């Protein structure tokens, strides 16, 4: 058995824990997959590197409305793909080399491991490792729905679809969440015919109802969106295409596509980790249970020296949350007598589709339920981008800011934005929420640049006033 001061399983956000404070300690970092984890290799970063060219590809259609005639000649899929991954693969390889070869105190083990006890684990090749402190940061993996034919080679997840050799002419996406919305935008803008099979009655249905409804309307104008529709079978044709059998409101139907993307959620990587060997608590969805200090729980109590962060234990499968939790763990590993809690009060999220969507805090439904419970009335304002000068410049007909606040105090409870650069427009609202700035002070306590699009936020804040 080899013993370390600190062992980290997972080189995504887990990799950020190895700070100079550990220079005199023996550290082992373990990753059985590609160095750097999901966000870098198959998640946030490459998807957004595809989203940006997708925005450019979609520009001619939007420009024509304003009297600017551009033409779309097509995309060079292989060039885009190779540009993206030559950059990403180099970053992953550089990070790997740094950890493997350049730090004397750090050992990199590139194997899958499973727990062998409270603070010990065994590698796939049989080595037993123990540590004074163990961090489990093993992330999550894409879940495939139980559909006959789902294992066909033409069926991809987000792990593989970004590296396919050619842009498909016809793509079926299963699911109506984040990944479905982003890849529909990417492939649709590039000129692929996109069909979405969405089990429920709307896309992005975890978001505020107004956002979900408006997004679904726009989605239906761009892609063939089949709501309340399930895929019942996938089979390969002789020419390599895929025959899809669907069942929806109009009964069974068939569709021919070139490839399929399964975007039906991700499950925490506790499967295969032999969590039972250590007796750690799991939630029903497979997440490791942790307390506010990111300590792993056993029978509801924290296990000394065992920590977890990111997708494997978080309520949120988001990189900025994994990084925030990693900062909590980084501090707590070194300051056992001065533990810090993670702050999950205002977690923002954005969907980089068209239209773009961003949200933070409570949805209107959640705020109404809370108001009923507490007896504290709320007020809601919806402000269209098209009501501001910059919205006129854009001839915008889709964007809006929806704010929800406590009526008496103006405390902002939730913000939901759909439209151009929603992910950036939301940041000042998030800042106000985080630093306890009420809507009225935020609106009138500062200048708002005229005629910037941020005026839509200013006006939404002002519209929350009821007196």
Q: Which residues are annotated as a binding site for FAD?
A: 48, 138-140, 311
Secondary structure of residue 206 in the 3-state scheme? coil
Stretch that binds ligand FAD, among 305-313, 335-343, 366-374, 386-394 (CB under 6 A): 305-313
Which residue in the set 4, 7, 17, 43 belongs to the binding site for ligand FAD (CB under 6 A)?
43
Contact between 244 and ligand FAD per CB under 6 A: no
Q: Say which residue the tokens 């009964």 belong to.
A: 251
Contact between 176 and ligand NAD per CB under 6 A: yes
Inter-residue contact 182 to 210 (CB < 8 Å): no
Which residue in the set 352, 385, 390, 400 belongs to the binding site for ligand NAD (CB under 6 A)?
352
**Exposure of 434 in the CB half-sphere (CA atoms within 13 A):** 12
Inter-residue contact 119 to 133 (CB < 8 Å): yes
Token couple for 429: 């609202």
Which residue in the set 154, 212, 264, 269 belongs to the binding site for ligand FAD (CB under 6 A)?
269
Q: What is the 3-state secondary structure (H, E, C) of 229-277?
A: CEEEEEEECCCCCEEEEEEECCEEEEEEECEEEECCCEEECCCCCCHHH
Contact between 47 and ligand FAD per CB under 6 A: yes
Contact between 39 and ligand FAD per CB under 6 A: yes
CA distances from 362 to 42, 311, 314, 463 (A): 29, 21, 18, 18
Secondary structure of residue 224 in the 3-state scheme? strand
Least distance to ligand FAD, CB of residue 32, Å: 4
Least distance to ligand NAD, CB of residue 318, Å: 5
Rounded CA separation 82/79 (Å):
5
Binding mask 221-250 for ligand NAD (x = CB under 6 A): ------------------------------
Which residue number, 45 or 462, has a Cβ lying nearer to ligand NAD? 45
Least distance to ligand FAD, CB of residue 444, Å: 32
Which residue in the set 135, 194, 211, 263 belongs to the binding site for ligand NAD (CB under 6 A)?
263
Secondary structure of residue 149 in the 3-state scheme? coil
CA distances from 32 to 25, 111, 114, 313 (A): 23, 4, 11, 18
Token couple for 80: 């885009």
Residues 117-156 that bind ligand NAD (CB under 6 A): 145
| Binding at 388: pick from ligand NAD, ligand FAD, none (beta carbon under 5-8 Å per type) | none
Least distance to ligand FAD, CB of residue 12, Å: 2
Which residue in the set 6, 17, 18, 37 belongs to the binding site for ligand FAD (CB under 6 A)?
37
**Exposure of 393 in the CB half-sphere (CA atoms within 13 A):** 8
Least distance to ligand FAD, CB of residue 255, Å: 24
| 450 flagged as catalytic | yes
Binding mask 170-199 for ligand FAD (x = CB under 6 A): ---------x--------------------
Token couple for 223: 């892609």
**Catalytic (active-site) positions:** 450
Binding site for ligand NAD (CB under 6 A): 145, 174-180, 182, 199-200, 263-266, 317-318, 349-352
């Amino acid at each position: 058995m080899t013993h370390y001061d600190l062992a980290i399983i997972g080189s995504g956000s887990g990799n950020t824990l190895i700070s100079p404070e550990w220079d005199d300690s023996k550290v082992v970092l373990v990753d059985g997959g590609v160095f750097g984890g999901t966000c870098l290799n198959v998640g946030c970063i490459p998807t957004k590197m595809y989203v940006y060219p997708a925005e450019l590809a979609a520009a001619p259609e939007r420009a024509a409305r304003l009297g600017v005639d551009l033409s779309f000649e097509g995309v060079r899929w292989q060039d885009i793909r190779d540009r993206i991954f030559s950059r990403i693969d180099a970053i992953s390889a550089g990070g790997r080399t740094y950890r493997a070869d350049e730090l004397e105190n750090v050992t990199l083990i590139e194997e899958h491991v499973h727990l062998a006890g409270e603070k010990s684990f065994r590698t796939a090749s049989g080595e037993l490792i123990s540590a004074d402190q163990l961090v489990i940061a093993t992330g999550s993996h894409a879940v495939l729905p139980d559909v006959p034919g789902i294992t066909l080679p033409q069926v991809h997840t987000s792990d593989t679809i970004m590296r396919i050799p050619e842009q498909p002419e016809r793509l079926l996406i299963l699911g109506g969440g984040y990944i479905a919305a982003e890849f529909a935008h990417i492939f649709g803008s590039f000129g692929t015919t996109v069909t979405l099979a969405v089990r429920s009655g709307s896309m992005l249905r975890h978001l505020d109802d107004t956002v979900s409804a408006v997004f679904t309307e726009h989605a239906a104008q761009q892609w063939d969106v089949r709501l309340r529709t399930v895929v019942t079978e996938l089979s390969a044709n002789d020419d390599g295409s895929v025959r899809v059998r669907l069942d929806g409101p109009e009964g069974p139907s068939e569709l021919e596509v070139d490839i399929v993307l399964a975007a039906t959620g991700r499950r925490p990587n506790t499967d295969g980790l032999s969590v039972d060997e250590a007796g750690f608590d799991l939630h029903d969805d497979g997440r490791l249970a942790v307390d506010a200090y990111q300590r792993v729980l056993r029978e509801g109590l924290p296990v000394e020296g065992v920590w977890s962060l990111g997708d494997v234990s978080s309520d949120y499968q988001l990189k900025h949350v994994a990084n925030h939790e990693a900062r909590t763990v980084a501090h707590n590993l070194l300051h056992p007598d001065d533990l810090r809690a993670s702050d999950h009060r205002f977690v923002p999220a954005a969907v980089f589709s068209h239209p773009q969507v961003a949200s933070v805090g409570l949805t209107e439904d959640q705020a109404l339920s809370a108001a009923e419970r507490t007896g504290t009335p709320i007020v809601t304002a919806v402000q269209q981008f098209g009501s501001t000068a910059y919205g006129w410049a854009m001839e915008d007909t889709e964007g809006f800011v929806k704010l929800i606040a406590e009526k008496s105090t103006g405390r902002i409870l939730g913000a939901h934005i759909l439209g151009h650069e929603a992910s950036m427009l939301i940041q000042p609202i998030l800042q106000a929420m985080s630093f306890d700035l009420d809507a009225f002070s935020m609106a009138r306590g500062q200048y708002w640049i005229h005629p910037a699009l941020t005026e839509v936020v200013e006006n939404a804040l002002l519209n929350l006033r009821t007196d």
